[in-house]
Amino acid sequence: MPNKKPQVVYLHGLQSSGQSATCQRLRRALPKHEVITPDLAVPPEMAMTELKRLTSLISPDAVIVGTSMGGMFAQQFRGFKRILINPSFHVSRKLSEFTGQRLPFHNPRKDGLKDFEVNDKLVKKYEKLEARQFDPKSGIIGRHPDSPDLVWAFFGTQDTVVNGKDEYLQHYSQYQDFDGGHRLDPDTTLNLIVPKILELTSKQ
């Protein structure tokens, strides 16, 4: 029986989807991997439920990669190898700037949604999740032993959108700065993120 492909789960940022240019770029750069790119639900409790379901379908050796909001969700995959890129640990703060508005999705979604409403209820739901995101007893999965050594992060030195580095270093130690902004650009993806994914999956 042939060996299964190594699995990579990519979690997108706010206002994006699993059909983004980054998702497509990762698939092209990792032809020997199974790259899984779900659309994250806007309500965080629904996203958590969907991701908990996903953990029952993937290998314990899967590498979880998340950018911005996706980095906040990826961090909570206890027991998995995780790569966080410009993680936004406080999505609620950004959302609160747009309360009462509708924000568009920048990429097509499988559910067909074009935009979503930002209201106080949505902001409070994110605040509730964020308050316990580093609690070792919470998280998307807890059946595997977890360790800070399973987590890596990359921070753009020109990121003017979020700055989660100090908070990250309160819990983890492995990180690298890169010359870039908040959005994951092609050069960073191919020259920094893909090599790290290959390094982690080669150890399986």
Each residue's pLDDT tens digit, 161-199: 999 999 999 999 999 999 999 999 999 999 999 999 999
Q: What is the pLDDT of residue 51?
A: 96
3-state SS of the chain? CCCCCCEEEEECCCCCCCCCHHHHHHHHHCCCCEEECCCCCCCHHHHHHHHHHHHCCCCCCCEEEEECHHHHHHHCECCCEEEEECCCCCHHHHHHCCCCCEEECCCCCCCCCCEEECCHHHHHHHHHHHHCCCCCCCCCECCCCCCHHHEEEEEECCCCCCCCHHHHHCCCCCEEEECCCCCCCHHHHHHHHHHHHHHHHCCC
Domain coordinates of the chain in residue numbers?
7-199
Superfamily of domain 7-199: Alpha/Beta hydrolase fold, catalytic domain (3.40.50.1820)
The model's pLDDT over 111-162, given as tens digits with 9 standing for 90+, comes to 999 999 999 999 999 999 999 999 988 878 766 789 999 999 999 999 999 9
Please check the confidence at residue 1 and state whether its pLDDT lies above 50.
no
Q: With 0.75 as the threshold, say if the pTM is over it.
A: yes
- pLDDT tens digits for 34-69? 999 999 999 999 999 999 999 999 999 999 999 999
